[in-house]
Amino acid sequence: MPELHHTIIEPFKIKVVEPIRFTTREERERLLKAAHYNPFLLHAEDVMFDLLTDSGTSAMSAAQWGAMMVADESYAGSRSYYKFETVVKELTGFKHVIPVHQGRAAERILFGLVGGPGLTIPNNNHFDTTRANVEHSGATALDLVIPEGKDPANTHPFKGNIDLNKLEDLLKSAKVPLGMLTVTNNTGGGQPVSMENIRQTSLLLRKHGIPFFLDACRFAENSYFIKSREAGYADKTPHDIAQEMFSHCDGATMSCKKDALCNIGGFLACNSDELAEKARNDLILTEGFPTYGGLAARDLEAMAIGLKEVLDERYLEYRIASTRYFTKKLNDEGIQTVQPPGGHAVYIDARAALPHIPIEQYPGQALVCSLYLAGGIRSVEIGSVMFGRSSDGKESFSDMDLVRLAIPRRVYTESHVKYMAEMIVAAVRGGDALHGLRFTYQAPVLRHFTARFAPV
């Protein structure tokens, strides 16, 4: 990775601001107890820095807000739809563009059409909604990320790559209706996929006549990683790189809540006329007419502009630098994180940070609680609380207990990041005072959203 010799600045001025409500530690102790030690159950106004997700939390630009005012809210054939369609077609090259209200709606439609019992759908790592929609269709969702992608300390530049040998073996033995790559690989730490890996995956799948789709939520961040890390791309624009990524594929699902800098929206795009026709019929049944797909036209306007703004090289330089800066601040103070820093989030190794808390007492959730107590920071546990209960109801502890700090786009400044890093260091240093946790309530599936805990 190139060393930084200059200050990378936020490439925007701030025109609209939202005050942060400051809380005291005493207040936060009371609020956290009332939320049963699960920050998902907090009111957002009791959170000072919300790093729960980078999804739907972007600050929109003046151009996006302006376009929303002149949107054409016609039920059918809206001008705003055609504007959106033109932008997506120019970027992706796909023949059909079907708007949906968010990423998982595109997944449900796609896997409802191509999935089914007896089929396997490979990916580097399926995101949890993608996996759930594949499995809902009766198909098997298979993760084939390279071994380096599972090792938090490994500094491979493209830890999101799929293992091509494993993919080739799978194609010989299983029925595969569609192959997928998630860029960047959220489940694996926001790690990028190289253009070479995209190209080889495409060749392999096409040799077997199998369609290849991207889960393109963070396509612009992936393009910037290719530009800065892969030989031959340094002089290309993120836009050209993104176009090349899509050119190897037959379609894509996209949650515009990420790299379209929007609060809601998404699309399903593809080249197949047959798939598009079936998808539009499903869309009419469940989302809305094909020129609005469950959205207001003002959302289509915001997406059309966001998809362009996100590819601005200065923006991407700042975006990737802020995640790197945050990670470095923590690493310099001895806090271990997934390496190298990914695009949209910092992932702290909670077992290393709180070694005195046994795995059975959920060190990830304990760290999430202590970050809230120390600095009013809301983060999310990615470990045994999220994944530790198997379908038979047994508790099986996951390989890692991570805490994800997802960074909303264009929302927090450098001094916010400095403050958060100070508070995180203070929380970890005060570690002896932290307690492990036990469940007092858990739902049978996706328990992390509504779980309740008590200190051990």
**Of the two residues 201 and 255, which places its CB atom closer to ligand F0G in the complex?**
255
- CB of 97: closest distance to ligand F0G in angstroms? 16
State how beta strands 251-255 and 212-215 pair: parallel
**Of the two residues 378 and 428, which places its CB atom closer to ligand F0G in the complex?**
378
Q: Which stretch binds ligand F0G (CB under 6 A): 18-26, 122-130, 226-234, 433-441?
A: 122-130
Q: Which residues ranging from 389 to 428 are in contact with ligand F0G (CB under 6 A)?
A: none
Tell me, by CB under 6 A, how many residues bind ligand F0G: 15
* Extended beta strands in 89-193, E state: 96-100, 120-123, 140-143, 179-182
* Cis preceding linkage at 177, omega within 30: no
In angstroms, the first-to-last Cα distance of the chain is 43
User: Tokens 């999430």 belong to which residue?
Assistant: 368
CB 161 within 8 A of CB 358: no
Q: Which stretch binds ligand F0G (CB under 6 A): 7-15, 101-109, 146-154, 432-440?
A: 101-109
**H or E, element range at 346:** strand 345-349
Q: Please tell me whether residue 53 binds ligand F0G under the rule CB under 6 A.
A: yes
How far is 254 from 220, CA to CA, in rounded Å? 12
Q: Which stretch binds ligand F0G (CB under 6 A): 29-37, 97-105, 236-244, 370-378?
A: 97-105
Q: Which stretch binds ligand F0G (CB under 6 A): 100-108, 139-147, 219-227, 350-358?
A: 100-108
For ligand F0G, which residue of 255, 291, 370, 379 counts as binding (CB under 6 A)?
Answer: 255
Q: Which amino acid is at 379?
A: S
State how beta strands 179-182 and 212-215 pair: parallel
Q: Please tell me whether residue 379 binds ligand F0G under the rule CB under 6 A.
A: no
- CB of 50: closest distance to ligand F0G in angstroms? 12
Q: Which stretch binds ligand F0G (CB under 6 A): 126-134, 141-149, 419-427, 436-444?
A: 126-134
Nearest-CB residue for ligand F0G: 103
**H or E, element range at 252:** strand 251-255
Q: Which residues ranging from 313 to 372 are in contact with ligand F0G (CB under 6 A)?
A: none
- CB of 345: closest distance to ligand F0G in angstroms? 8
φ, ψ of residue 207 in degrees (nearest 5): -55, -35
Tokens of residue 100, six digits: 């949906």
Q: Which amino acid is at 407?
A: I
Burial of 234 (0-12, 13-18, 19+ CB in 10 A): exposed
**Of the two residues 106 and 320, which places its CB atom closer to ligand F0G in the complex?**
106
Q: Which residues ranging from 54 to 73 are in contact with ligand F0G (CB under 6 A)?
A: 55
For ligand F0G, which residue of 64, 130, 322, 361 counts as binding (CB under 6 A)?
Answer: 130
Task: Tell me which DSSP letter residue 148 carries.
Answer: G
User: Tokens 């040998």 belong to which residue?
Assistant: 165
For ligand F0G, which residue of 83, 131, 248, 257 counts as binding (CB under 6 A)?
Answer: 257
Q: Please tell me whether residue 448 binds ligand F0G under the rule CB under 6 A.
A: no
For ligand F0G, which residue of 50, 143, 163, 215 counts as binding (CB under 6 A)?
Answer: 215
- CB of 265: closest distance to ligand F0G in angstroms? 8
For ligand F0G, which residue of 57, 120, 182, 197 counts as binding (CB under 6 A)?
Answer: 182
**Of the two residues 32 and 406, which places its CB atom closer to ligand F0G in the complex?**
406
For ligand F0G, which residue of 103, 115, 179, 383 counts as binding (CB under 6 A)?
Answer: 103
Q: 41 has which bridge partners? A: none
User: Tokens 């925007």 belong to which residue?
Assistant: 12
How far is 178 from 120, CA to CA, in rounded Å? 8
Q: Please tell me whether residue 127 binds ligand F0G under the rule CB under 6 A.
A: yes
Q: Please tell me whether residue 102 binds ligand F0G under the rule CB under 6 A.
A: yes
Per-residue b or e along 369-407, where b marks 16 or more CB atoms closer than 10 Å to that residue's CB: bbbbbbbbbbbbbbbbbbbbbeeeeeeeeeebbbbbbbb
Please report how many Cα atoms fall inside a 13 Å half-sphere around the Cα of residue 51, on the Cβ side.
29
For ligand F0G, which residue of 104, 108, 248, 410 counts as binding (CB under 6 A)?
Answer: 104
Q: Please tell me whether residue 189 binds ligand F0G under the rule CB under 6 A.
A: no
**Of the two residues 104 and 357, which places its CB atom closer to ligand F0G in the complex?**
104
- CB of 288: closest distance to ligand F0G in angstroms? 16
How far is 21 from 409, CA to CA, in rounded Å? 20
How far is 407 from 53, CA to CA, in rounded Å? 7
Q: 145 has which bridge partners? A: 162
How far is 337 from 330, CA to CA, in rounded Å? 8
Chain contacts with ligand F0G (rule: CB under 6 A) = 53, 55, 102-104, 127, 129-130, 182, 186, 215, 217, 255, 257, 266
